[in-house]
Structure 1
Amino acid sequence: MDLHVLELFCRIVESGSFSKAANAMYLTQPTVSGHIKKLEKEIGVRLLDRLGHRAIPTKAGDLLYSYAKRMLALRQETQQAIDEFKGGLKGTLIFGASTIPGGYLLPPLIGPFRACYPDITIVLKVSDSKQIIDAVIEGVYEVGAVGAQFEDSRLEYRVFAEDEMILIVPPAHPWASRRSVKAKELLGQPFFLRERGSGTRKILEQALERRHLSIGAFTVIGEMGSNEAIRQAAKAGGGIAIISKLAVASDINCGELHGIPIADLKLTRPFYLITHRHRSRSPICNAFLTFIGTTSRPHDSHRT
């Protein structure tokens, strides 16, 4: 298989469009269509369904996509190894991060890293922890940054930062002047939660379980897919929430939210860099891990 054609196929899957893939690869749309027809003929199955202006991968297309991404990653790794042998590192590192490391911890490190490696481009993708973990397992990202561990023997976890989660309430809330609350007091309050699959929610669930409590007993008035949504909802006065202190530090400093410790809940958590245990890492990935200082012993994926 031609790697150039596989890259083109991946672009179509990711953009959902022949024309967008053609523009990205500086090709005409008829040329793109011709390459895909030849690829489908070579493999012997239909890879893409054309639904109006959308291109949707078939099951065979999904299968090819997962392997094609690995092949393209290996091509990049090969080029990086040759560049390193010749005395320099250049290329692109694509990694994924959940919302707190992706929004607050990693961006300040990109500039200093590029000062050391000016020929490396960093592409940071932000989504929830479960999606990042799945992408690392599938080989879409070489490295990810998440705020919770999920049991999977294929993953290797390295601690690189710590965080504290706190209860936030709006200034008009009766608890705004309190120094602390107890976990059981949370049950009767209107509550905003992060979505299932987020590291924030997983840590909260584990902390409650240790106190023989459950999120199921909360009065949940909304589940939200980002810390920004939680912040804005709490600031509007609709309810309370538990969120990373990093995400609301500016709101607390200017008095738009009040942060309150929960006396009987341990809500500190480490953040981890994750890699695939059984895949070799590219020189760029190794340089990034070394730069961040992840020289500590890897954590087992089944520890919590």
Structure 2
Amino acid sequence: MDIRRLEVFCAVVELKSFTKGAESVCLSQPSVSEHIRILEEMLGDKLLDRLGREVLPTVAGQILYQYARRIIRLRDEAIQAIENQKGNLSGQLVVGASTIPGTYILPRLVHDFRNRHPEIRVTLKIASTSQVAEGILQGEIELGVIGARWKDNLLQCSEMFSDELVLTVYPEHPWAGRQSVELDELPSQPFILRERGSGTRQVMADALKEAGFDIAALDAIAEMGTTEAVRQGVKSRLGISILSARAVQEDVERGALQTLPVAGLNLSRPFYLATRRNRQATPLAQAFLEFLGGGGGR
């Protein structure tokens, strides 16, 4: 089974489109369709369904996709290992990150890492903590930096960076300028939450629970998929929220937002370096891990 054909198939599955898949692998759409036809003929089963504008894998297609990604990854690892043995490091490293580290920490580190290893291409995939964890477990992401220790024994997590969550309000809010807020005052205000599965929400919920407060008691008027969306929601006076201090630092310095502590609530948080337990790191991943451990991540 030709690996190039599997790469074409994976591109169509991931982009949910023959047209976009063809663009990503630099082939014409008829060529991509022919690759898929040959795969289906070889396996004796339909692999893709056209549902409106989207192309989705069938049950057989989903099975093939999982194995195809593993085959391609093994091919890449073999090439990396041989290049590493010759003293060369080149290829593509896929790093996952939840919103805060992916937006405010890792871009600088990736830049510094590539200055040391210019032949390595780093793809930074920013998603929720749960999506990054799943990507690592599925082998789609080599390593990740996530905002909560993931409860899966197959994932190994070690503390790498630190952050603090802060109650954030707009300048005209009644609490603006106060020294602190009591925990039992929180339900009195409209609250914007991150979506379920985000590290920020999990850390906040855990801290509230430890303080004897149920997150369900908040007047949650909206759930948003990114920290940026929540930040803009607070700035537009939609409600208040608990956000990363890193994410709102510039707004606080400009006076566009204000932060204040919640009495009795510990909202410091670590970020975790996550890898698949018992999986041998590729040479590229090992180089990045050594870069972080040698002070690049500090």
TM (norm. structure 1) is 0.94
1:133 counterpart SS class: helix
Could you tell me which residue of structure 2 aligns to residue 283 of structure 1? 283
Change (3 A) 1:208 1:14: same
Change (3 A) 1:52 1:168: closer
AA of the residue aligned to 1:227: T
1:151 corresponds to 2:155: no
> What is the CA–CA distance in structure 1 between the aligned matches of 2:84 and 2:233, rounded to whole Å?
49
Preserved CA contact (<8 Å) 1:158 1:294: no
| Alignment of structure 1 residues 183-198 onto 2, 5 Å | 183-198=183-198
| Alignment of structure 1 residues 10-89 onto 2, 5 Å | 10-89=10-89
> What is the CA–CA distance in structure 2 between the aligned matches of 1:52 and 1:186, rounded to whole Å?
45
CA deviation after TM superposition for structure 1 residue 70, in Å: 1.4
Aligned-residue identity in percent: 47
Size of the aligned set, in residue pairs, is 295
Could you tell me which residue of structure 2 aligns to residue 207 of structure 1? 207
> What is the CA–CA distance in structure 2 between the aligned matches of 1:271 and 1:187, rounded to whole Å?
28
Preserved CA contact (<8 Å) 1:160 1:294: no
> What is the CA–CA distance in structure 2 between the aligned matches of 1:278 and 1:37, rounded to whole Å?
37
What are the ranges of 5 or more consecutive residues in structure 1 without an aligned counterpart? 296-304
Preserved CA contact (<8 Å) 1:77 1:282: yes
CA deviation after TM superposition for structure 1 residue 52, in Å: 4.6
CA deviation after TM superposition for structure 1 residue 29, in Å: 2.3
CA deviation after TM superposition for structure 1 residue 31, in Å: 2.2
> What is the CA–CA distance in structure 2 between the aligned matches of 1:245 and 1:152, rounded to whole Å?
28
Could you tell me which residue of structure 2 aligns to residue 141 of structure 1? 141
> What is the CA–CA distance in structure 2 between the aligned matches of 1:214 and 1:162, rounded to whole Å?
25
> What is the CA–CA distance in structure 1 between the aligned matches of 2:33 and 2:258, rounded to whole Å?
57
Decide which moves more: 196-205 or 52-61. 52-61
Preserved CA contact (<8 Å) 2:150 2:157: no
> What is the CA–CA distance in structure 2 between the aligned matches of 1:243 and 1:30, rounded to whole Å?
48
What are the ranges of 5 or more consecutive residues in structure 2 without an aligned counterpart? none
CA deviation after TM superposition for structure 1 residue 231, in Å: 1.0
Could you tell me which residue of structure 2 aligns to residue 105 of structure 1? 105
Could you tell me which residue of structure 2 aligns to residue 128 of structure 1? 128
Decide which moves more: 135-144 or 59-68. 59-68
Preserved CA contact (<8 Å) 1:159 1:294: no
TM (norm. structure 2) is 0.96
> What is the CA–CA distance in structure 2 between the aligned matches of 1:121 and 1:156, rounded to whole Å?
24
CA deviation after TM superposition for structure 1 residue 281, in Å: 1.2
1:226 corresponds to 2:226: yes
CA deviation after TM superposition for structure 1 residue 27, in Å: 2.3
Change (3 A) 1:179 1:121: same
Cα-Cα RMSD? 1.3
Spell out, residue by residue over 1:249-301, the C-alpha distance to the aligned partner (whole angstroms, 9 max, x if none): 00111111111011211101110111100322110001101101179xxxxxx
Preserved CA contact (<8 Å) 1:195 1:223: yes
Spell out, residue by residue over 1:7-46, the C-alpha distance to the aligned partner (whole angstroms, 9 max, x if none): 0100111122222222332323222222211111222211
Spell out, residue by residue over 1:213-250, the C-alpha distance to the aligned partner (whole angstroms, 9 max, x if none): 11111111111111111111111222110000000000
Spell out, residue by residue over 1:68-91, the C-alpha distance to the aligned partner (whole angstroms, 9 max, x if none): 111111111111101000111001
Decide which moves more: 100-109 or 209-218. 209-218
